[in-house]
Structure 1
Amino acid sequence: MKKFMLLTALVLASTLLSACATTTGSSTPAIDGILQNKELVVGTSGSQPPFSMTTKDGKLIGFDIDLARAMADSIGVTLSLKTMPFDQLLPALQAGNLDLVISGLTITPARNLGVAFVGPYFISGKSVLTKLDTIAAIEDASEINTPGMTLTALQGSTSQEFIETATPEATFIPARDYDEAVDLVLKDTVKAMVADYPICIISVFRHPESGLISMIRPLSFEPLGIALPKGDPLFVNWAENFLNTYQGTGRLDELKEVWFGDASWVEQLP
């Protein structure tokens, strides 16, 4: 019996030592690739002001862009931005074509099954953009849940999910980006756009003579996060520590003030 117990103990000890050795020597594919290539490849839509947007001369600017640049600077690598339609961002990340995604992306349980999330770095909520002469005020989602209501939202977004869940009686018309969605409202093709409230409010500033109006009170709770590949705990841990430090030192609040406290940058947009 004593020999059996001793043998069992030796086997357990060997297993634990082997596991520790495997953990200690394990690699982190994302970080290894970033350091080797000396670049951080970040995916964004480039069409979600003020989070990411493209200026008249083709330059990418915005809250998310500055956050991505700060992440690249923190490890001394070049930032490489890849723009693509919003609904293609997470598939590109899962396929290994991106290191991470920062694009006004709401953290949801369904998305979290396929990718890891760090954050939130911003708390948003759904709002409605419409024309003053179409709808004077909307205080509840039920007020737009009618058969005669036509609504648009970014394809593949939580705004689309919101419309389909909260307003099943309305007709949904998807948009590839927010420029197209706002244009649908301006041309009266749809009666309203559902989007995160900063995007709705900025749209009012961008078109001051068009009679656009946006709700102020959000209709939902939307925590925005940074999406990373699953299965790479060290990369996730690094991103968590970066965000905690960036927030703790007050730099995240400074960034919010730049992009949400002043809308002068609107003049740079087409």
Structure 2
Amino acid sequence: MKNKLLLVMVVLVMAILGACGTAEKEKSTNSQGTATEDKKVLVMGTSADYAPFEYVDTENSNEIIGFDIDLVNAIAEKIGVEIEVQDMDFNSLIPAVQAGKVDFVLAGMSPTPKRDEVVDFSIPYNETVQMVVTKKDSGIEKVEDLAGKTVGAQISSIQEDLANEVAKTVDMKVESRNLIPEVVQEIMTKRFDAAIIEDIVAENYVQRNPDLTYFPVEVDEADYKVAVLPEGSELKAQFDKAIQELIDSGKIEELQKKWFVVEE
């Protein structure tokens, strides 16, 4: 009887320890779509070369900062999740959403009909204008002056689409690069005569490079920034609600004032 009682007690202790270990494992899991202390972790894809939306201030740290980073943290607080940020090339972001490698994208991205075929968009959170950036001594002052010139843009961006559209009426060559800093560097070395870059990003580069200037490209419809989500994702309704609340509360405007004011 003593041996049987001892055996039962050992089995009970092992069962209790096993249950505790399982509970602790479940609590500490930190992979995509699982919980950490009861909070779901969402993986956000971005391309951290797009100041002031998302970038790394290498002089101070290796941390990704910017408007979109502050915005996603505000969204996360509202919907009760934690965010893990993955940096990748801009042209890899949509495929990453489709493949389930990230839960959503926040990367200063604008909706297009082509993108709309494979992903869903949140409501807009920022309106933008497209600019032609060029050197002051280039002689380029209007879109028509791009005839015979080489014009740069970021790969898979709406600026690349716009450049190709302009090229249908203006005889110019369009070349693309992976990163915005690469595009700007090509202008500085005169391999590109100009590039199409959105307004607040262009302003930051022009302010830091006194040899650069810019002017707007007239388009039929304004461009907007959105969060990009998998088709049919339940996150869309949550993101839409959170973004609208942030707009209504003035938080979006507060972040714009923080990040979009170019220092003289």
Aligned equivalents of 2:42, 2:90: Cα separation in 1: 19
Matched with 1:226 is: 227
Shift of 1:35: 5.3
Secondary structure in 1 matching 2:182: helix
Matched with 2:141 is: 137
**What pairs with 1:104-143 in structure 2 (closer than 5 Å)?**
104-135=108-139, 137-138=141-142, 141-143=143-145
Give 5+ residue unaligned stretches, structure 2: 1-31
Matched with 1:39 is: 41
Aligned partner (choices 60, 72, 85) of residue 76 of structure 2: 72
Matched with 2:22 is: none
How far does the alpha carbon of each residue in 1:11-56 deviate from its partner, in whole angstroms, 9 at most, with x for none? Answer: xxxxxxxxxxxxxxxxxxxxxx645363221111101111111111
Shift of 1:262: 4.4
Shift of 1:190: 0.7
Structure number with greater Rg is 2
Matched with 1:166 is: 166
Shift of 1:261: 2.3
Correspondence 1:102 to 2:103: no
Aligned-pair RMSD on alpha carbons? 1.7
Correspondence 1:87 to 2:91: yes
Matched with 1:248 is: 248
Matched with 1:15 is: none
CA contact (8 A) 2:134 2:212 kept: yes
Shift of 1:259: 0.6
Secondary structure in 2 matching 1:123: strand
Matched with 1:204 is: 206
CA contact (8 A) 2:167 2:174 kept: no
Distance change (3 Å), C-alpha of 1:223 and 1:71: same
CA contact (8 A) 1:197 1:218 kept: no
Secondary structure in 2 matching 1:78: strand
Give 5+ residue unaligned stretches, structure 1: 1-32, 265-270
Matched residue pairs, number?
224
TM-score (norm 1): 0.78
Moved more, 99-108 or 68-77: 68-77
How far does the alpha carbon of each residue in 1:143-197 deviate from its partner, in whole angstroms, 9 at most, with x for none? Answer: 32x2x20011001111111111112421112111011000000111111011111
Moved more, 235-244 or 70-79: 70-79
Secondary structure in 2 matching 1:42: strand
Matched letter for residue 36 of structure 1: A
Distance change (3 Å), C-alpha of 1:206 and 1:34: farther
